[in-house]
Amino acid sequence: MTNRRSFLTGAGAGITALGASLVSRAGAASLPEAPTHTSSATAAPLAPTGGRPYNPVVTLNGWTLPWRMKDGVKEFHLVAEPVVREFAPGMQVNLWGYNGQSPGPTIEVVEGDRVRIFVTNKLPEHTSVHWHGQLLPCGMDGVTGLTQPGIQPGKTFVYEFVARHAGTFMYHPHADEMQQMAMGMMGFWVTHPKNPRQHAVDRDYVMLLSSYDIEPGSYTPRTNTMLDFNLWTINSRVFPGLDPMVARLGDKVRIRVGNLTMTNHPIHLHGHRFEVTGTDGGWVPKSARWPEVTTDVAVGQMRAIEFVADAPGDWAFHCHKSHHTMNAMGHDVPTLIGVDHRGVAEKINKLVPGYMVMGDKGGSMGDMKMPLPANTLPMMSGDGPFGNLEMGGMFTVLKVREGLKRGDYSDPGWYRHPAGTVAREWTGDGTLPSAPRAPDARPAPAPAGEAMDARKPGANGMTGHEHH
Ligand SMILES: [Cu+2]
């Protein structure tokens, strides 16, 4: 819930008392309230309560930070603090974030706004905030040691600058980044155009990509991991914990994606063609746009894509790296496709009770129900209208429907396909066309049972994450 009870009066009790004596530069008599939000539901767009008008964005499974106007300056209050984030029902993770959540709340301002951001540090170590993509005075850039001292635990710093150009930006610490970003410290920033009709769309979604290394059965990320992450998240959520993006048929839709992981993500949308209309440098000139269905978002980058939602249906939206649409698992397992292990499981079972051999027909785990350690999600799961939806991680669904109300973001349920438009089993109603084979096709070698490379389960037993 967003707590805004005393936001407008600036009477945020504890935080005001803590921070007021430390703030001098802004001459603020009181700090603005720091609203917190603990629900992982997608908050409704936050319409501006003053200042220049703009069309607010929707942060998937997140929220926008309320602000107050003081002497013509938009004031925000971020609190860096430990948080608990639900990645999907059944998994809670200890992270660091801002105002009760990771990622932190989205900050929305208008081109030309003077912005003042108070940052209170409730972490056990120093931090800072870098405003990724902003054109600002060097001393406001938030790089610990280079442009400012670190914000020590218990202290509040104030940043102030003019949001000079419209576009999509991010914020994150530039202090012990390896640790702090691996723990989920990041947030989105949108600077809206001065003229709300410029670049206007009907629905404007924002999401940050982040990744975590969380051992099955545990609750806290390993922060020294360089590359081998096992949970790939959109706004620190994984499928099936991600809400769908909803659009009315014919709506112009923008999706802004920022990447603060350690690798690139080719973001792919089904059933539509889009153009990249923005980067973290600003808007892409019309003459420099081309149609795409996948766009790579490199590390530290932001991409805004736009399209007309002209195809009714439930359309997959996901990172195209297949391991990024899976939840925690081990990847160091042999491929067993084609291996005949008849009889082997029984033999191993005499030595290792409960052992299962899997994967001789492929890796699908859709119908396997295996015991999982506590606080651990299945690798690929989610129930779809046609059975198990074998996805996790960076995956959600764009739901395009006729006749939705403007501003209605509620889940319309599964798409009802017109009769005769769904792929179906062929049951012999006609002559099957022949299936020519490649001229040099050779029969596959017979299964070689003796070549099997069996592997014992890990010390924590059969998790379902050791095999695929
Ligand atoms: Cu990816």
Question: What is residue 329's predicted lDDT score, i.e. its pLDDT?
Answer: 59
CA of 230 to the centre of ligand 1 (A): 11
Supply angle C-alpha 257, 263, 268, rounded to 5: 45
Q: What is the pLDDT of residue 367?
A: 53
> Ligand 1 centre from 259 Cα, in Å?
9
Q: What's the one-letter identity of residue 399?
A: K
Q: Which residue has the tokens 């995956």?
A: 395
**6 CA distance to ligand 1 centroid (A)?**
40
Q: Is the pLDDT of residue 381 over 90?
A: no
**Ligand 1 centroid, distance to 263 Cα (angstroms):** 7
- Of the candidate ranges 11-25, 305-319, 428-442, the one whose mean pLDDT is the lowest: 11-25
Q: Of 82, 161, 149, give the one whose Cα is nearest residue 117.
A: 161
Q: 193 alpha carbon to ligand 1 midpoint, in Å?
A: 30
DSSP string, 80-93: EEEEEEEEETTEEE
Burial tier of 453 (Cβ tally within 10 Å: 0-12, 13-18, 19+): exposed
CA of residue 91 to ligand 1 center, whole Å: 21
Ligand 1: distance of its center to the CA of 467 in Å?
A: 21
- pLDDT, one tens digit per residue, over 109-133 is 999 999 999 999 999 999 999 999 9
Query: What gap in Å lies between CA 160 and CA 146, rounded to an integer?
Result: 17
**Which pLDDT band holds residue 352 (cuts at 50, 70, 90)?**
low
Residues 252, 202: contact at Cβ < 8 Å?
yes
CA of 285 to the centre of ligand 1 (A): 27
pLDDT at residue number 270: 98
Task: State residue 300's pLDDT score.
Answer: 94
CA 73 / ligand 1 centre spacing (Å): 38
Q: What is the pLDDT of residue 81?
A: 97
| CA of 395 relative to ligand 1 center, distance in Å | 10
Q: Can you tell me the mean pLDDT for 233-251?
A: 96
Give 269 Cα–ligand 1 centroid separation in angstroms. 13
pLDDT interval class at 345 (50, 70, 90): low
- How many angstroms separate the alpha carbon of residue 350 from the centre of ligand 1? 40
Residue 29 or 238, more confident: 238
Residue 362 per-residue DSSP state: B
pLDDT at residue 247 greater than cutoff 60: yes
Please report, as a single letter, which amino acid is at residue 407: G
The predicted model scores a pTM of 0.83
Over range 54-76, report the average pLDDT.
Answer: 96
pLDDT band with cut points at 50, 70 and 90 for residue 456: very low
| Least-confidence region, from 14-28, 95-109, 382-396, 440-454 | 14-28
CA distance 349 to 356: 8
Site of tokens 């979604």? 205
